[in-house]
Amino acid sequence: MPPSDPKLLTVVLNWRTADMTLRAAETALREMEGIGGELVIVDNDSRDGSFERMAGVVADRAWPRTRVIDAGRNGGFGAGNNVGIRAGLSDGSRPDYVYILNSDAFPDAGAIRALLDHLQAHPETGFAGSYIHGPEGDPHLTTFRFPSIASEFEGAVRLGPVSRWLRNRAVPVPIPEQTTRVDWLAGASLMMRMEVLEEVGLFDERFFLYFEETDLCHRAKNAGYPTDFVRESSVTHIGSASTGMKEWQEVPGYWFDSRRHYFEKTHGRAYARLATAAHVAGALLHRLRCLLTGRKPADPPRFLRSLISHEFSAPRPGATRGGDRAARLTGG
């Protein structure tokens, strides 16, 4: 039975975007009006004065039910959010729901309430996420299927007939027009049932960045708790403010580490290698077609070489934070 007066813990993670994070937190506080709970801002070891700046603003403006805490290290997206979740409510009581919000995401009117109401009305649902759009109203794709061997080939070959054939296996899901169930959602605006987190664990801290939401939603689904896309909840998102993805010249090593860890953890080593082989085969066919037509390959520079290299190299130390299992509430 859903709680009659639910408590919500909102977590906003900062890394060197203090002013933007404060704006996101202030917007979230506005949307939490009438909802019990608190907001915690986690500084992910920015070391640029962010923590002092945010703590000072929160104190000077006397923001209600808001704390700023220092993660103490930058363990990545999942680890930073875990710090906030483990911090819990200031009186030591347990929240019923946890809401994670990107530092460059700003809930529109009613966005947080819509997620909360959906989870209250659908006790079988584990997680619920928002419709995400840019500042100009442009939709952001955040609805996905779980990656597979078939999706790796489809995404790499970039060929219309293949995409139509594998349309039900492709990772991207066209943005639904109404509330519906999906495999996983990007974590820019995601509300999670606390009892589900207690059962399946928090974010796996071996993912520094990317695939951590995929893994968490996959664990929840396996435990019987699906993820819902809530169209009535709308959030404005700038995108890549902390990661700098828009300015990437090539894909960073931690993306490959996270991809490899996801496939190995979810399906085993043999499946992971087959997934990489499928991606390589699709990419080579794509490059052959580009060679024959005089087009430029769509892959980022050195992508295929890095993918193969990471597949056959030993995991880097930074990719194995958190031990040999999903990060639990105990931190073990």
Domains of the chain by residue range: 7-242, 253-319
Q: Positive or negative CA dihedral for 66, 72, 74, 75?
A: negative
pLDDT > 90 fraction of the chain, expressed in percent and rounded: 87
Backbone angles phi, psi at 156, to 5 degrees: -90, -35
Could you tell me which of 144, 103, 143, 136 has the C-alpha nearest to residue 233? Answer: 143
318 pLDDT more than 60: no
Q: What is the pLDDT of residues 194-218, one digit of tens each?
A: 999 999 999 999 999 999 999 999 9
For the four alpha carbons of 118, 240, 264 and 154, in that order, the dihedral sign comes to: positive
Q: 3-state secondary structure string, 244-282?
A: CHHHCCCCCHHHHHHHHHHHHHHHCHHHHHHHHHHHHHH
pLDDT at 313 over 90: no
pTM attached to this predicted model:
0.92
The string of pLDDT tens digits covering residues 152-181 is: 999 999 999 999 999 999 999 999 999 999
Give the CATH class of 7-242: alpha beta
Q: Please give the pLDDT value at position 4.
A: 86
* Chain segment 259-291, per-residue pLDDT in tens: 999 999 999 999 999 999 999 999 999 999 999
| 78 phi, psi to nearest 5 deg | -65, -45
Residue 21 has pLDDT above 60, yes or no: yes
Tell me the mean pLDDT in the region 119-147: 97
Task: Quickly tell me which residue has 């605006």 as its tokens.
Answer: 189
Determine the average pLDDT of the residues in 40-63: 97
Residue 322, pLDDT > 50, answer no
Chain centroid to Cα 190, Å, comes to 8
Can you give the pLDDT at residue 301? 85
- Residue 293 pLDDT: 95
Say whether pLDDT at 85 is over 90.
yes
The percentage of the chain sitting over the pLDDT mark of 70, rounded to a whole number, equals 92
pLDDT value, residue 249: 72
With a cut of 80, say whether residue 120 has pLDDT above it.
yes
Average pLDDT rounded to a whole number, residues 295-311 = 91
Q: In whole angstroms, what is the distance from residue 50 CA to residue 132 CA?
A: 26
pLDDT at 245: 53
Residue 23's nearest CA partner among 131, 84, 105, 99 is 105
pLDDT for the residue numbered 240: 59
In whole angstroms, how large is the CA radius of gyration of the chain? Answer: 20
